Amino acid sequence: MVLDLDTGGGLLRALLPETILTLWAMLLLLDAAWHHRDPGAQRRTGWLSLIGIAAAAAATVWLWGMGARPAGIPTTVAVDAFRWAADLIVLLGAALAVLFSVEYLEREGILIPEYHVMVLFAAVGMMLLAGGTDLFVLFLGLELMSVSVYVLAGINRRSPAGAEAALKYFLLGAFASAFFLYGIALLYGATGTTKIPLIAIQVESLGIRGHPMLLAGLALLSIGFAFKIAAVPFHMWTPDVYDGAPTPVTGFMAAAVKAAAFAALVRVLLQAFANLHTTWDQVIWWLAAVTMVVGNLVALAQRSIKRMLAYSSIAHAGYLLTALVSGATAGAAAVLVYLLFYTLTIVGAFAILALKGRDGERDVLIDDLAGLGESHPWLAFAMTICMLSLLGFPGTAGFIGKWYILATATGGGYPVLAVILVLTSVVSAGYYLPVIMAMYMKPSAHGQVHAGVHASRLVGATLAVMVAALLLFGVWPNGVLAAARAGSHAFLPTYVTPISAPVPATGY
């Protein structure tokens, strides 16, 4: 299916998933405003939100299955497998956030139906960020995502920690947006365009690879991305915001926000600045190395599970940056694989944490899980799989994700960075394994310490599916790897034929 993005109909079909989700979110916003104080309004809005997410996912799968491609250069939004894969990961994170939030919000007394609408609007922004091929489209998606997540972080108006988290995220996010926008202005000044595919053409045709304005614009743009992915030293907001926000929101931020930001970063680096690889590879190298080291070492000192997972999220940003260093399409495939597995794992871990605590789960320590394996063996098993997958233990999906990144780094000629990844992963055992040890090897303080931990049938079934997926993909990842490789072909030069594709016949 060929889409002419210069026509309204072609552009509308290319943006069909975003359009469906936006219209559905606007209808739900009107319904939530009209029935704001009705009993059960929050729960009803949550279930209706899942319908909108499912419809957007169906539209994405339809476009992918129909082989949608642009007629010419896509100068507004991408129409390729990488975008569809990234959109599905974002929608998965949004669906899990809504599903795990419905009962959590009732328990915490956050009876605000607009919460789920904000999740939908954030997902729309993430999809624009992941699929935009114009820097201004990226900025539009970035701001829509950010404003929605600012609201979600402080949605519990009775929580001082939530208000602090929202304020910190807003102020630092405003600085990051300013860097991002100033970078766009400099890139436009250097190349005369904000279209990502055309930037690469302009750099070569104008011969400005080393132009100061171009390099300054790329640097400022990278700072904006580094803030959103929580890379060191732009990570200082992460532990406090993750700690203060409601736990389902924290899981949504750790998974979907990171997925959208990395998808956009991959497109910018591998499409607009692929010919400047020797300029930015060392910057990404050091950013990845420092992020892995700092994230893992500081996580070792955390006793709060929520803050430990926050610093763990920083470390995983370093792992994902490692996949990008080589500038190869294999790195794009590795990012997709890792983001999918990471989304399942981190959202599952935060969902289990939400069952254990109260008032934001800020006071739940690792030792507070002592005896959970005896009183709630299924939840303890699910948490164990999540911790092992984050660690990269063989037999879990996390191991496949890290293996793919290591293969990309070593194959691209960066063995030292691969060694750093392995060593820091070993260090991470120092804070993942104590969680498992506490659940199974330490007695609980008293028999009723976990009496309040309860998972509904729907939440339990969802966790069961997620755990099964982590184990299944750990031993049979072929389908995911093939889809990721297909997505990475979006960044192949037009004159390169993928090995998996038939070679066209030539006639004389």
Q: Give me the domain span that covers residue 483.
A: 2-491
Hey, is 373 helix, strand or coil?
helix
Q: For the residues 376-384, what does the mean pLDDT come to?
A: 91
Tokens of 361: 């789960």
pTM of the full structure:
0.92
Tell whether 365 is covered by a domain. Answer: yes
pLDDT higher than 60, residue 460: yes
pLDDT higher than 50, residue 508: no
Percent of the chain with pLDDT over 90: 52
Tell whether 413 is covered by a domain. Answer: yes
Which pLDDT score is estimated for 37? 75
N-terminal to C-terminal alpha carbon distance within the chain: 30
Instruction: Please tell me whether the peptide bond between 233 and the residue prior to it is cis, using omega within 30 degrees of 0.
Output: yes
Which pLDDT score is estimated for 53? 95
Q: Is 318:241 a contact under the CB 8 Å cutoff?
A: no
Rounded CA-CA distance 398/425 in Å is 11
Tell whether 503 is covered by a domain. Answer: no
pLDDT higher than 90, residue 315: yes
Which pLDDT score is estimated for 497? 45
Tell whether 435 is covered by a domain. Answer: yes
Hey, is 304 helix, strand or coil?
strand
Hey, what's the torsion of the CAs at 258, 285, 186, 257, to 10 degrees? 0
pLDDT, tens digit (0-9, with 9 covering 90-100), for 264-279: 999 999 988 888 888 8
Q: For the residues 181-191, what does the mean pLDDT come to?
A: 92
For 203, counting Cβ atoms within 10 Å of its Cβ (0-12 exposed, 13-18 middle, 19+ buried), the class is buried
- Find all residues with CB under 8 Å of 284, minimum gap 6, and list them: 269, 321, 324, 325
Q: For the residues 303-311, what does the mean pLDDT come to?
A: 91
Tell whether 133 is covered by a domain. Answer: yes
pLDDT, tens digit (0-9, with 9 covering 90-100), for 483-505: 888 888 888 765 444 444 444 54
Q: Which residue has the tokens 């009803």?
A: 44
Q: Which residue has the tokens 């030069």?
A: 493
pLDDT higher than 90, residue 84: yes
Hey, what's the torsion of the CAs at 255, 257, 258, 259, to 10 degrees? 80
Cross-strand bridge partners of residue 195: 134
Q: For the residues 254-270, what does the mean pLDDT come to?
A: 93
Tell whether 385 is covered by a domain. Answer: yes
Please choose, from the candidates 165, 164, 156, the residue with its C-alpha nearest in 3D space to the C-alpha of residue 253: 165
CA dihedral sign of residues 255, 257, 259, 261: negative
Q: For the residues 406-426, what does the mean pLDDT come to?
A: 92
What's the total number of domains in the chain?
Answer: 1
Question: pLDDT band at 316, cuts 50/70/90?
Answer: very high
pLDDT higher than 70, residue 359: no
Q: How high does pLDDT run on average in the chain?
A: 88
Tell whether 508 is covered by a domain. Answer: no
Least confident of 179-188, 284-293, 436-445, 477-486: 436-445
Q: For the residues 317-325, what does the mean pLDDT come to?
A: 93
Tokens of 322: 């490692």
Cross-strand bridge partners of residue 132: 77
Tell whether 497 is covered by a domain. Answer: no
